[in-house]
Amino acid sequence: MPAISKTINKDLKEERDKVKFNIEEFTNWFYGGSEKVLEKRKIENYFLSDKSLNLETDTSYLSYKEKYEEAIRRSCIVYPKMLKLHQELGGTEEDFRKIMDNLRYTMSAIQKEGNPFMLHFGMFTVTIMNLANDEQLSEWLPKCVNCEILGTYAQTELGHGTFIKKLETTATYDPKTKEFVLNTPTLTAYKWWPGNLGHTVNHAIVMAQLYTKGECCGIQPFIVQIRDLETHKPMPGITVGDIGNKVGFQTVNNGFLAFNNVRIPYKNMLMKSSKLSEDGTFIKPKNAKQNYGTMVFVRVYMIMDVVVNMSRAATIATRYSMVRRQSPINPNDEVEPKIIEHMTQQYKIFPAIAKVIIYKCMADNLRNLYQQITLEGTKGSFERAPELHALSCCLKAVCTNDAAKTTEILRLACGGHGFLNSSGFADNYKNATAAQTYEGENTVMLLQTARFLIKSFTKAKNGEKLTEGVFYLNDFVKRNGKREPFDDSIRGILRAIQAAAAGKISSAWKHIEEKKKFLTVEEATNQTGIELIRCAELHCYVCLLQTGIEEIEQIIKNVSPALREVFKNVLELYAIDNVLNMIGDILQHVDMTNADIDKLQKRLEAVLTFFRSSAIGIVDGFDLSDAVVSSTLGTYDGNVYENIFEAAMKSPLNQEDVNKSFHLYLKPFLKSNL
């Protein structure tokens, strides 16, 4: 075995020495201030320094069952610590969010293939907070917060996930006993997919069709105990289990669930929005979509997960590319360059770094908007709910699609070693791609946004004033078919993307109108689906760039000149990369010449060159510890070859010189050929 030295790699040190801005200043911005950075480091250390977690174990070699058991063991260390910390901090909801925000990063070191408790707070508790009335809240919330019970969110069934109106599970009210009777009428009605359901939780929010007085009142949320608190055996009438191996998320314990005349008390239907009187009279909610609130919450939080996911992947690829040397640029060069010297390598990595920053601005904004609009809802005003729904749907889709795509680009940027499990890309990719499907399949999400855009465009054509996020449609209609002139300032690029989005929405609108002459409006909309998803994507790019511009304009007022340059270049890179990637859409609606495109290409190359000296500072500034980065290629010290070698030594096959398969199969086979 070679001698392994663990000083900082000199190539990486050389890169860090070139950084012109104060990395800690960037970190302070990224986490919202120096106090928050200290708090994050403290919280992370509080969890990760716990030796009993055995984080050195490479869990990727464990069997499916062992992985699950190890994940539960780790959660049963992390969650008591979390509850203790929550009490120490003050026990408020804000304290809880603080821990959760930081755990988001820390958990990627502890539960690489997913957390078997993630649905308990993320969806079960949140649904109770959103949809329980005061009485129900005081009964259930303390049990949730103290983890006296563990719950999940059981909505999707074997036959339906997207179209939730057609869920088949029934909850029939029996006014004589004041109970609901839950049933799974068919195989396709089995709850299928809910996380943590298989063998972990003992309670679930079950979304079921409410039947009362012989009528169906649509899907409503019910709290159902599914396992005995003492024995953990399924409750009478309950069939529950694990759905088996998946592409990823192996330790999330996604499960199935069926009911055979399971009786639950009247008080277990969550009644903040829809209500049922004890005699069985159904009272409709003020807003029919209130029951979908938890999904909106999760979609909002998922953008923050994208930031975590992409910041990890970008950190790995950047550090590796500054250590790996290959392929002289001039054939006679003696020394091979760092692979980051190759312009194409910069183009794979630097736009990803810029996106982390823009998505982070967006995630923070979206969370604020969610909080405002939820507050309005508690006061009975739901006017802005469709806008939030439309925005969260397209962002969920575009950002998770991009996280999966970017992880793959960054893995490829690390060549062969990127394909090692120890590179960390596999877990990143599997988590990113799961997010493309869960909480609303991405095409379906884009079509929801497009529905809002088409409605908004109709309003704009009728001269009605629109909500702020779609003002640009009013401008488009006012231009009355005149093409947008191209102006290459950053705001000019935004206007070009707005024109492309509005133009696409306008032609999708026109095509639906044409098709409506022969088809129903729904059929016409379906036939226009390909254009509609592009409308939603372009609208999302508008929102992202607009938010990026507005946030960065504010940020640069408050940072040092050196960091100001970095943010300006982040915006430049993000905007130019974006516009060049949608040039076809832009050319349809904007007066742009070949010379404009050449100029943009030159600016792209220039900004990548600038980024060369900032990239390592930015990724170091994401402040991800080695445990969180969890990659042989991405450690802070840059000792990639030593790390790769050490990781290979952990292979179970390397624990003995000769594997028994030699004696059993190989030797007889070789002998038979003599």
Ligand X SMILES: CCCCCCCC/C=C\CCCCCCCCCCCCCCCC(=O)SCCNC(=O)CCNC(=O)[C@H](O)C(C)(C)COP(=O)(O)OP(=O)(O)OC[C@H]1O[C@@H](n2cnc3c(N)ncnc32)[C@H](O)[C@@H]1OP(=O)(O)O
Query: What is the three-class DSSP state of 438?
Result: coil
Binding partner of residue 164 among ligand FAD, ligand X, none, CB under 5 to 8 Å per kind?
Answer: ligand X
Query: What is the three-class DSSP state of 211?
Result: strand
Which of 122, 377, 424, 621 touches ligand X by CB under 6 A?
122
User: Which residues 6+ apart lie within 8 Å of 539 measured at CB?
Assistant: 394, 449, 453, 470, 501, 505
Alpha-carbon separation of residue 403 from 434, 494, 585 (angstroms): 11, 22, 22
Helix (H) or strand (E) holding 590: strand 590-591
Query: What is the three-class DSSP state of 325?
Result: strand
Q: Rounded to the nearest 10 degrees, what angle do helices 93-110 and 293-321 cross at?
A: 40
338-346, 433-441, 455-463, 549-557 -> range binding ligand FAD (CB under 6 A): 433-441
| Contact assessment for residue 223 and residue 272, using Cβ atoms and an 8 Å cutoff | no
Give residue 552's identity as a one-letter amino acid code.
I
Binding partner of residue 497 among ligand X, ligand FAD, none, CB under 5 to 8 Å per kind?
Answer: none
Q: List, in sequence order, every beta strand (DSSP E) within 451-549.
A: 484-485
Which of 47, 68, 153, 320 touches ligand X by CB under 6 A?
153
Alpha-carbon separation of residue 524 from 116, 462, 519, 584 (angstroms): 43, 21, 6, 25
> Cβ of residue 306: shortest distance to ligand FAD, in angstroms?
15
101-109, 211-219, 223-231, 442-450 -> range binding ligand FAD (CB under 6 A): 442-450
Binding partner of residue 461 among ligand X, ligand FAD, none, CB under 5 to 8 Å per kind?
Answer: none
Which of 51, 65, 165, 557 touches ligand X by CB under 6 A?
165
31-39, 262-270, 292-300, 615-623 -> range binding ligand X (CB under 6 A): 292-300
| Contact assessment for residue 629 and residue 518, using Cβ atoms and an 8 Å cutoff | no
User: Which residues 6+ apart lie within 8 Å of 480 measured at CB?
Assistant: none
Q: Return the DSSP state at 466.
A: P
Asked if residue 374 belongs to a known ligand binding site, the reply is no
**Half-sphere exposure for 399 (CA within 13 Å, toward CB):** 32
170 phi and psi angles, rounded to 5 deg:
-115, 145
Told to check if 192 binds ligand X by CB under 6 A, we report: no
| Contact assessment for residue 222 and residue 191, using Cβ atoms and an 8 Å cutoff | no
Binding partner of residue 263 among ligand FAD, ligand X, none, CB under 5 to 8 Å per kind?
Answer: none
> Cβ of residue 473: shortest distance to ligand X, in angstroms?
16
Long-range contacts formed by 383-389: CB under 8 A, 24+ apart: 384/467, 385/287, 385/289, 386/452, 387/452, 387/467, 387/469, 388/296, 389/289, 389/292, 389/296, 389/448, 389/452
Torsion, CA 455, CA 456, CA 461, CA 467, rounded to 10: 150
CB of 210 or CB of 447, closer to ligand FAD: 447
Told to check if 51 binds ligand X by CB under 6 A, we report: no
**Tokens 């943009």 -> residue:** 600
Binding partner of residue 145 among ligand FAD, ligand X, none, CB under 5 to 8 Å per kind?
Answer: ligand X
CB of 353 or CB of 434, closer to ligand FAD: 434
Cα–Cα distance for residue pair 376/233, rounded to 1 Å: 42
CB of 53 or CB of 446, closer to ligand FAD: 446
| Contact assessment for residue 373 and residue 296, using Cβ atoms and an 8 Å cutoff | no
Antiparallel, parallel or unpaired: β 179-183 and 170-174: antiparallel
Told to check if 440 binds ligand FAD by CB under 6 A, we report: yes
Which of 31, 68, 180, 249 touches ligand FAD by CB under 6 A?
249
Binding-residue pattern over the window 123 to 152 for ligand X, x denoting contact by CB under 6 A = x-xx--x---------------x-------
Write down the catalytic residue from 439, 537, 551, 572.
439
Binding-residue pattern over the window 190 to 219 for ligand FAD, x denoting contact by CB under 6 A = ---xxx------------------------
Which of 34, 87, 162, 554 touches ligand X by CB under 6 A?
162
Which of 30, 47, 68, 121 touches ligand X by CB under 6 A?
121
User: Which residues 6+ apart lie within 8 Å of 334 measured at CB?
Assistant: none
Which of 85, 99, 118, 501 touches ligand X by CB under 6 A?
118
Q: What is the b/e burial string over 134-148, where b = at least 16 CB atoms within 10 angstroms of the residue's CB?
A: eebbeebeeebbebe
Told to check if 222 binds ligand FAD by CB under 6 A, we report: no
Cα–Cα distance for residue pair 198/177, rounded to 1 Å: 30
Q: Which residue is nearest to ligand X (CB)?
A: 122
Angle at 134 between CA 128 and CA 138, to 5 degrees: 70
Cα–Cα distance for residue pair 514/454, rounded to 1 Å: 14
Which of 402, 439, 484, 642 touches ligand X by CB under 6 A?
439
Asked if residue 198 belongs to a known ligand binding site, the reply is no
Is 464 one of the annotated active-site residues of the chain? no
Cα–Cα distance for residue pair 467/190, rounded to 1 Å: 41
227-235, 382-390, 425-433, 521-529 -> range binding ligand X (CB under 6 A): 382-390
CB of 9 or CB of 200, closer to ligand X: 200
Told to check if 119 binds ligand FAD by CB under 6 A, we report: yes
CB of 123 or CB of 502, closer to ligand X: 123
232-240, 432-440, 463-471, 528-536 -> range binding ligand X (CB under 6 A): 432-440
Binding site for ligand X (CB under 6 A): 92-93, 96-97, 100, 118-119, 121-123, 125-126, 129, 145, 153, 155-156, 161-165, 195, 289, 292, 295-296, 298, 301, 385-386, 389, 438-440, 444, 448, 451-452, 455
State the binding site: 156, 195
Q: Which residues are catalytically annotated?
A: 439
Interface residues toward ligand FAD, by CB under 6 A: 119, 153-156, 160-162, 193-195, 249, 254, 434, 437-441, 443-444, 447
Annotated binding-site members for FAD: 156, 195
